């Protein structure tokens, strides 16, 4: 039921070269979407596209630096030209910089905000323009974080960017809902990806695990059902502006 309205749609996933982005692309491809894989690491995108095509999916790759408006516009135009107007956008690209607030440099601040917030905004804008022009009842899923709900130590700029993304989601839902576009946000908790492997084995990681309700990290597949629901057609018709924490109860404590 949750896959209704996904098959045949053009879905653009940013940050698709690894981690959650690659997982999201695989899940949407399995549901029948036509995939636009977008990220900076083109070699990884090519490998993922090849894998998806072998499984029968339609997939293209687009080099994308979301911090560059020119790159965002190019990616959106390529998607429309090759696979048709964007019907689903998963705004997944993001970075973090670990530092105490008094030590944050201007360069690091700009990198985080330009990628996590500015890039996500203009990518959503580009997708929404296509949806509006083609009268598509589209779905935009912003990948925020529990850091947007609860500030995390030494990740102040990242937390601020994700909190702003949550407010951005509310604004988009209010303005674009009239066109049938639903905008929602997923706030993942601590998920086991290649980025977290080294951290989990260190002392800080062990302390983190001890603080989690069930003493475990989530797995990328734990977000599959939520992603499919938010990207669906009729089953997600009344879900607009929702901010959903998928964190195994961490932010409930």
Residues 6+ apart with CB under 8 A from 225: 2
Our CA dihedral for 32, 38, 39, 41, rounded to 10 degrees, sits at: 80
CB 181 within 8 A of CB 238: no
Check: CB of residue 161 under 8 Å from CB of residue 169: no
**Active-site residue, selected from the candidate residues 158, 179, 190, 250:** 158
Cite the DSSP H helix spans in the chain. Answer: 19-30, 42-54, 69-83, 106-113, 120-133, 156-176, 197-201, 203-211, 224-231
Query: Which contiguous run of DSSP H or E holds residue 139?
Result: strand 139-143
74 is catalytic: no
Angle at 170 between CA 164 and CA 176, to 5 degrees: 125
| Token pair for 33 | 């979407």
DSSP class per residue in 220-247: GGGGHHHHHHHH-SGGGTT--S-EEEES
Phi/psi of residue 76, nearest 5 degrees: -65, -40
The set of catalytic residues is 158
């Amino acid at each position: 039921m949750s896959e209704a309205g996904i098959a045949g749609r053009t879905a653009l996933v940013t940050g698709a070269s690894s981690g959650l982005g690659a997982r999201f692309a695989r899940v949407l491809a399995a549901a029948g979407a036509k995939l636009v894989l977008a990220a900076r690491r083109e070699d990884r995108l090519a490998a993922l596209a090849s894998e998806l095509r072998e499984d029968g999916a339609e997939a293209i790759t687009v080099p994308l630096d979301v911090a560059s408006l020119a790159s965002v516009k190019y990616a959106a135009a390529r998607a429309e030209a090759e696979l048709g107007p964007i019907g689903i956008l998963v705004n997944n690209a993001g970075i973090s910089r670990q530092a105490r607030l008094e030590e944050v440099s201007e360069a690091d601040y700009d990198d985080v905000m330009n990628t996590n917030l500015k890039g996500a905004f203009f990518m959503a804008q580009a997708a929404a323009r296509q949806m509006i022009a083609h009268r598509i009842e589209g779905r935009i899923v912003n990948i925020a974080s529990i850091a947007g709900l609860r500030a995390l130590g030494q990740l102040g700029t990242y937390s601020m960017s994700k909190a702003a993304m949550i407010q951005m989601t509310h604004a988009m839902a209010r303005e674009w809902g009239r066109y049938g576009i639903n905008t929602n946000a997923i706030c993942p908790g601590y998920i086991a990806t290649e980025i977290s492997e080294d951290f989990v084995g260190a002392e800080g990681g062990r302390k983190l695990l001890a603080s989690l309700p069930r003493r475990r990290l989530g797995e990328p597949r734990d977000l599959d059902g939520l992603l499919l629901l938010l990207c669906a057609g009729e089953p997600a018709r009344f879900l607009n502006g929702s901010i959903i924490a998928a964190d195994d109860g961490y932010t409930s404590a």
